Amino acid sequence: MKRKSGLLWFIFLLILNSCVSFEKFSIEVYKPSGLNLAPNIKKIALVSRNLKYANDTLQNYQVRNHRLIKDKIRFNSDSLAIKTCLDSLSGQLLTQNRFDSVWILPVNTFPRNQVKEIRPATNEWYKSIAEKTGTDALILLDMFSCFYSQNNDDSNPTANVVTSNIWTVYGIKEQRIIDRFTQVDTLYWDRLDENGQYQKIRIPDKKSAISLAAGVIGENYAKHILPAWARVDRTIMQSSDPEFQKATKLAQNNKWEEASAIWQNYADSKSKLKKVTALYNLALASEMNGNIDQAIGLTDQAAKVSSGLFLSSENEAVRKYSAVLYQRKNEINKLNKQNETR
């Protein structure tokens, strides 16, 4: 009986020390581009090579209610998608005033060519286009492929477009390819809003969906070329203590200084649970105020406090957030270097 009582007491202690929850919220952060173009690149030409994999034969098909069917009305979805994609990319590249000009070659400049592999062209081919356009770099959409599916379920009809693309950036001064990028994405539609509530909206047909998806693809690829804002998630560590709940509400209303004043009262608490909760949230507040180094220091403290058996879940949350902060610090350093070279 004593052993059993001891085990129950041990479980009770674990429960007492595991009464935190997490409140998720979203923020926008400025992220560096994947590619750092040289400052002397001011004029760009966007070119579709119009290549297509030989085994990509479903252009005139779609999936409807889990069945592959042929389109009743045919249209050139590739040309539509490529034009929309390049127009969208051009618009995004011009918004930051990084380039003096962005010129789009007509989509039908090069005829569609079905190939087994998507390989780079010759240097002479790239040079020829560069001379004709008078640009500093070429951004080439080597291949664009998409496929539409829909489900007409009365309760919640859905549709999606799967896209696959290959991009190349050719530097005129370098006289070589300076970047190759493969982009795969899926765009979904249903009748639920961001909160999962039903709303009556029209599910797009194939032509509309492909056009919408292509525009998103152009926008997303622009983030590979230039820094851009991105939405990310963060979480507040919540406790059952009324003061912590008050601080959470303040933080959710963007009153970080007032929330921090409450958390600071528990930063030296004798209760490890309250202490780690306070330190974690103070780190979060530091990030919101733009002080990444201070945030990292606070998560280091929280990791030490939460080490051990009883706060394992809290320790895991702290370490995950610490990894996010280190990644964010690297992004900021990269952003600063990119700004120096512009």
69-78, 92-101, 206-215, range with the lowest pLDDT: 69-78
What average pLDDT does the structure give for the chain?
A: 90
CA distances from 316 to 150, 290, 302 (A): 40, 24, 11
Q: What percent of the chain has pLDDT over 90?
A: 80
User: What's the whole-number mean pLDDT along residues 48-53?
Assistant: 96
- 240 in the same domain as 224: no
What is the mean pLDDT of the segment spanning 190-205? 65
Q: What is the pTM of this model?
A: 0.82
Q: Name the domain count of the chain.
A: 2
User: Cα(206)–Cα(158) distance, rounded to whole angstroms?
Assistant: 12
Q: 126 with 137, same domain?
A: yes
Residue 288, exposed/middle/buried by CB under 10 A (0-12, 13-18, 19+)? Answer: middle
Q: What percent of the chain has pLDDT over 70?
A: 90
* Other CB atoms within 10 A of residue 148 CB: 23
Q: Are 180 and 141 in contact (CB under 8 A)?
A: no
Mark which of 230, 255, 272 sits at the end of a domain.
230
128 falls within a domain: yes
How far is it, in rounded angstroms, from Cα 209 to Cα 232?
Answer: 26
Q: What is the CATH number of the domain that holds 217?
A: 3.30.160
Alpha-carbon span 183 to 136, nearest angstrom: 24
The strand pairing partners of 232, in sequence order, are 27
Is residue 201 located within the same domain as residue 238?
Answer: no
Q: Supply the pLDDT for residue 11.
A: 45
In a domain, 25, yes or no: no
- Inter-residue contact 11 to 227 (CB < 8 Å): no
- pLDDT tier for residue 13 given thresholds of 50, 70 and 90: very low
**Same domain for 118 and 156?**
yes
Same domain flag for 184 and 295? no
In a shared domain, residues 164 and 250:
no
Tell which of 169, 199, 230 closes a domain.
230
Q: Where residue 251 sits, what CATH number does that domain have?
A: 1.25.40
The pLDDT score that the predictor gives to residue 253 is: 96
pLDDT band with cut points at 50, 70 and 90 for residue 255: very high
Q: Please tell me the predicted confidence (pLDDT) of residue 29.
A: 96
Residues 140 and 262 in one domain: no
189 and 331 co-located in one domain:
no
Task: Return the pLDDT at 116.
Answer: 94
For residue 241, pLDDT beyond 60? yes
pLDDT band at 190 (very low <50, low <70, confident <90, very high): confident
Please report which confidence band the pLDDT of residue 273 belongs to, taking 50, 70 and 90 as the band edges.
Answer: very high
* 278 and 222 fall within a common domain: no
Please check whether residue 24 lies inside any domain of the structure: no
Answer yes or no: is pLDDT of 14 > 80: no
Give the residue among 282, 274, 272 at the shortest CA–CA distance from 307.
272
Q: For residue 183, is it within any domain?
A: yes
Per the domain annotation, does 87 fall within a domain?
yes
* Residues 132 and 174 grouped into a single domain: yes
Confidence of residue 96 (pLDDT cuts 50, 70, 90): confident
Residue 178 sits in the same domain as residue 299: no
- Domain of residue 334: give its range: 232-340
Q: Give a yes or no: residue 6 inside a domain.
A: no
> From residue 153, how far is each of 70, 149, 159, 197 by CA, in Å?
20, 13, 11, 17
Q: Specify if 27 maps to a domain.
A: no
Which of 209, 230, 251 delimits the end of a domain?
A: 230
- Residue 78 domain-assigned (yes or no): yes
Residues 258 and 130 in one domain: no
| Residue 19 confidence class, pLDDT cut points 50, 70, 90 | low
Residue 286 φ then ψ, to 5°: -65, -40
Secondary structure in 3-state letters for the chain: CHHHHHHHHHHHHHHHCCCCEEEEEEEEEEECCCCCCCCCCCEEEEEEEEEEECCCCCCCEEEECCEEEECCCCCCHHHHHHHHHHHHHHHHHHHCCCCCEEEECCHHHCCCEEECCCCCCCHHHHHHHHHHHCCCEEEEEEEEEEEEEEECCCCCCEEEEEEEEEEEEEECCCCEEEEEEEEEEEEEECCECCCCCECCCCCCCHHHHHHHHHHHHHHHHHHHHCCEEEEEEEEEEECCCHHHHHHHHHHHCCCHHHHHHHHHCCCCCCCHHHHHHHHHHHHHHHHHCCCHHHHHHHHHHHHHHCCCCCCHHHHHHHHHHHHHHHHHHHHHHHHHHHHHCC
Give the CA radius of gyration of the chain: 26
